[in-house]
Every structure is written in structure tokens, then in C-alpha cells.
Amino acid sequence: AQAQQRYIDKELVPRWKGKHVAAIRRRDIVTMLDDVVESGRPQAAVRLLALTRKFFNWAVGTGWLDASPCAGIPIPAPLVKRKRVLSDSELRLVWKGAEAIGWPFGPLVQLLMLTGQRREEVAAASWSEFNLTGTEPFWTIPAGRAKNGNEQQ
């Protein structure tokens, strides 16, 4: 939400303040995206297009517009997934920092590190989801809480 607000404040408002939403054309959006890419921020342009599409789809859905000017605009740059992972020494520092923080956030961070699960899934976990008996303990995330809608074990 904060990142989206920054895009709105930094990119959209300065360009389109005072301009009626129906006056914004596809060319305006493409120019904005080109400017962001040329400033060396291609991933920001990708996210900005997604935000702009969402806004104009909302405007169409509420009847402000008949069609979105974002229709047919290609993604301005290939989406690059993050490749950065923590080194072993960085992981040790995070683990020790989590121990120092203590309950409740320290164990939360450690469980995130051990499982690789999403923050929301770990934070909402309950003891009844954990089977700690036997030689292979496991955690079952109910389908209703899993992001993909499928029970995970």
C-alpha cells in the first residue's frame, strides 16, 4: 500500500493533476511508462502499469469510463524476480537477532526461516495445525488460510 501511494504521489499526480480521468489517453500512459524505463527503473514501470490498469479498470467498473486506456499496453519490461538470498553468516545474524528480540516476533522470524512459508500463514498458525509426534513432524496449513486455496503440509 505504501509503495502504491508513492507511485501515485510521484508519478501519477504530477502528470495528471487537474486532468479529467476521461481525458487521459493510452499515449499518456505509454509516455509515462517510457519515461520511467528511461530513468533506469524498468521494474517500477511494470508495477506502475499494474497500478494504472487497476485504477482504470475500477473507473470502467464504476461507470466513469467506457473503456480503459490501458487496454493493449504491453508490459514495459520483463518482470525480474528477486534473486538475492541471505548468506549463511547473514542467516546466523538474523537468527541471533530473533533470539534477542524474544516473544512473539523472534520465534515468528525463526519459524519463517525454518519453513520458508508466507508471513501471514506463519503468523496465523495455531498449535492444532502442528503434528510434532513421530520421527517426521509436520505442519498442515488449512486450505482456507493458504494463499493458493489448497491445504499444504
Whether 94 and 133 share a structural domain: yes
Q: How far is CA 15 from CA 8, 11, 29, in A?
A: 10, 7, 10
Whether 57 and 102 share a structural domain: no
Q: Is 103 domain-assigned?
A: yes
Whether 11 and 57 share a structural domain: yes
Residue 19: its pLDDT value, please? Answer: 93
Instruction: Kindly report the three-state secondary structure assignment for every residue of the chain.
Output: CHHHHHHHHHHHHHHHCCCCHHHCCHHHHHHHHHHHHHCCCHHHHHHHHHHHHHHHHHHHHCCCCCCCCCCCCCCCCCCCCCCCCCCHHHHHHHHHHHHHHCCCHHHHHHHHHHHCCCHHHHHCCCHHHEECCCCCCEECECCCCCCCCCCEC
Q: Which residues contact 23 (CB under 8 A, 6 or more apart)?
A: none
Residue 63: its pLDDT value, please? Answer: 94
Indicate the residue among 43, 61, 79 that finishes a domain: 61
The three three-digit cell numbers of residue 84, written as one number: 538475492
pTM of the model: 0.57
Residue span of the structural domain in which 98 resides: 88-139
Rounded to the nearest 10 degrees, the angle between the axes of helix 88-101 and helix 105-115 is 150
Whether 98 and 57 share a structural domain: no
Q: What tens digit of pLDDT does each residue of 27-62 get?
A: 999 999 999 999 999 999 999 999 999 999 999 999
Number of domains in the chain: 2
Q: Is 15 domain-assigned?
A: yes
Q: What tens digit of pLDDT does each residue of 69-117 get?
A: 999 999 999 877 778 889 999 999 999 999 999 999 999 999 999 998 8
Q: What tens digit of pLDDT does each residue of 104-136 get?
A: 999 999 999 999 888 888 999 999 999 999 899
